[in-house]
């Protein structure tokens, strides 16, 4: 059995990152130890601080080091429009690519009874309570078009309809610059069903 040296422990710890396999973890560990100890120390210090201080925003459930994230605390955001996303990274993508100026709600996943993920784990009761406050007029569902994503979107839409909140879903279909012959059938079907006039 291989000795559990500190080097082996470092390599194993680096493997917790998505997309980092044994060889990549080994390369990163050797790079930090042989060429960038200062960078490694800075990474360790910031990582420890981030793991301690970054929590969930009390309003939208994104990651924040404050009780309210910068978006929820921004008085220039439109409080009448709420975009529901699966993960905090999707907020960054929307903010960088669009001129959306409403607020967000992060589910943290999709409904998946087989995996034990129900409405409670996604904070859907909190979302419904927020909709019942009456300030939100439109909910934009920016949820992946998977089977689980569609079930999650339908669940939220049903809750919102009972509260008289408009529900929309972002369009799905052929990517900009995409070639139709390379698009899968499901994506093409979504693109056709979501077509609009010019």
* pLDDT tens-place string over residues 98-127: 999 999 999 999 999 888 898 999 999 999
Residues 142-163 pLDDT 10s: 998 888 999 999 999 998 888 8
Question: For the domain with range 77-169, which CATH number is right: 1.10.10.60, 3.40.120.10, 3.40.50.720, 3.40.1360.10?
Answer: 3.40.1360.10
Q: Indicate the SS3 state at residue 48.
A: helix
> By the 8 A CB rule, do 122 and 107 touch?
yes
- For the chain, report the end-to-end CA distance as a whole number of angstroms: 67
Residue 197: which pLDDT band, with cuts at 50, 70 and 90? low
Domain boundaries, the chain: 77-169
User: If 0-12 CB within 10 Å is exposed, 13-18 middle and 19+ buried, where does residue 164 land?
Assistant: exposed
Residue range 188-198: mean pLDDT, rounded: 70
Max Cα-Cα span within the chain: 67
């Amino acid at each position: 059995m291989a000795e559990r040296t500190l080097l082996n422990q470092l390599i194993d710890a680096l493997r917790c990152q998505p997309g980092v396999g044994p060889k990549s973890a080994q390369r990163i560990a050797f790079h930090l130890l042989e060429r960038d100890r200062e960078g490694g120390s800075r990474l360790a210090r910031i990582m420890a601080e981030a793991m301690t201080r970054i929590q969930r925003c009390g309003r939208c459930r994104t990651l924040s080091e404050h009780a309210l994230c910068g978006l929820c605390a921004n008085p220039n955001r439109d409080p009448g429009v709420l975009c529901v996303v699966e993960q905090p990274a999707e907020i960054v993508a929307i903010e960088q690519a669009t001129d959306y100026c409403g607020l967000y709600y992060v589910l943290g996943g999709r409904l998946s009874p087989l995996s034990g993920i129900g409405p409670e784990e996604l904070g859907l009761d909190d979302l419904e309570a927020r909709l019942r406050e009456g300030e939100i007029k439109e909910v934009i569902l920016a949820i992946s078009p998977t089977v689980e994503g569609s079930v999650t979107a339908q669940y939220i839409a049903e809750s919102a309809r009972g509260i008289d909140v408009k529900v929309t879903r972002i369009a799905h279909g052929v990517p900009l610059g995409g070639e139709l012959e390379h698009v899968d059938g499901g994506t093409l079907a979504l693109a056709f069903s979501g077509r609009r006039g010019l």
